[in-house]
Structure 1
Amino acid sequence: MSGDGSGQGTALAPDRRGVSTAVGYVLNLGLATVLITGLVFAAGTHVEQERETVIRSELVVVGEGIVADVGAADRLVQGGAEEVRIRRTIPERVAGAPYAVRVETTGGEDYLVLSTRDPSVEVRFELVVETPVSGVASGGGVVVEYVDTGDADADGDALEVRGG
């Protein structure tokens, strides 16, 4: 390379400084995109887990109230009451999700089960009662009812949990 400024006989070395800036910029954008995508995915998963926790907590509160009503109805029946009706207003939805209430018998034990479908959450409560119990309901209202048929041998006398 000559220093006379005429430009003749000079070979210019390739200049790669501009390329490295562009490549660095693209790499930074790619990395930022990956990080933001990861954060959005993690936040979405966290929100869904929190929603399930809130639903479970609300189902526990609703279930405890119904279990208390079933227990109170059983005590009244055991005390000789011929008719019992306990009505409870419950929310139609928990954390925006509809839910079902049912009584299940597993291994000779009665359970009150509250469940949602989306997301799938289930809460179970053991019912410690002497009177047989059955039933199905959904959010909005529940009635725990007993009617004595007067027949001492009747197997049909039971507490029923139903919508109301």
Structure 2
Amino acid sequence: MTADRGVSTVVGYVLNLGIALLLVTGLLITTSGFVADQRHRAVEEGLGVVASHLAGDLATIDRLASTSDAEHVAVRADVPEQVAGRAYTIHVSPDGNTTKIQLVETRTGVTVTRSVHTSLTVSESTRGGGSLRFVYDDDGSIEVADD
């Protein structure tokens, strides 16, 4: 009889550990999907803010350069090098009377685009995040340069 009690204690202990392991594993799997979804949203929102900031700076230099007689106008755009701990790329491309600013974070595949109406020509450019300058020279076009 004492041998049966010893076995039932071991079996009960092993069953409790198995059930606890299943519960913890299920919880980890569920929360990892939630965390990935939250990171995706954080990257998307962060890139949206940066894209809007760059669009505003581009509109500012376009307005300043087209309304003043200055031969050289520059607007500094301080944007973070990373958003939610992820690096991103900034693509600026002209499209008729508008300029498209596209931010791409390759690890999550998040892409955010903003369009800005511009009266001046904007040169196509690709840069990483960080300090940038929009520069207008007397050649009649706006260029994106590293600061």
* Normalised-by-shorter TM-score class: 0.7 to 0.9
User: What is the TM-score normalised by the length of structure 2?
Assistant: 0.80
**Aligned-pair distance for 1:25?**
4.2
The percent of aligned pairs where both chains have the same amino acid is 34
- The match for 2:20 is 32
**Aligned-pair distance for 1:71?**
0.4
Q: Deviations over 1:16-59 (max 9, x none)?
A: 77666654543443232122111111212211221222222221
Point out 4+ residue stretches in structure 1 off by more than 4 angstroms. 15-25, 105-109
Q: 1:8-27 to 2 correspondence within 5 Å?
A: 22-27=10-15
The residue type equivalent to 2:116 in the other structure is L
What is the alpha-carbon root mean square deviation over aligned residues?
Answer: 2.6
- The match for 2:60 is 72
- Distance in 2, matches of 1:89 and 1:108, equals 25
Q: Deviations over 1:104-144 (max 9, x none)?
A: 35688531011212232211111221222222221220111
Q: 1:72-151 to 2 correspondence within 5 Å?
A: 72-81=60-69, 82-105=71-94, 109-133=98-122, 134-149=124-139
The residue type equivalent to 2:137 in the other structure is V
- Distance in 1, matches of 2:119 and 2:98, equals 11
Where 2:35 maps in the other structure, the secondary structure is helix
- Distance in 1, matches of 2:132 and 2:112, equals 17
Moved more, 104-113 or 57-66: 104-113
Query: Given that residues 101 and 113 in structure 2 are in contact (C-alpha distance below 8 angstroms), is that contact kept between their aligned partners in structure 1?
Result: yes
Aligned residues: 144
User: What is the TM-score normalised by the length of structure 1?
Assistant: 0.73
The residue type equivalent to 1:36 in the other structure is V
Listed as ranges, the gaps of 5+ residues in structure 2 are none
- Distance in 2, matches of 1:59 and 1:105, equals 20
The residue type equivalent to 1:111 in the other structure is K
* Higher strand fraction (1 or 2): 2
Listed as ranges, the gaps of 5+ residues in structure 1 are 1-14, 150-156
**Aligned-pair distance for 1:66?**
0.9
Query: Given that residues 136 and 162 in structure 1 are in contact (C-alpha distance below 8 angstroms), is that contact kept between their aligned partners in structure 2?
Result: no
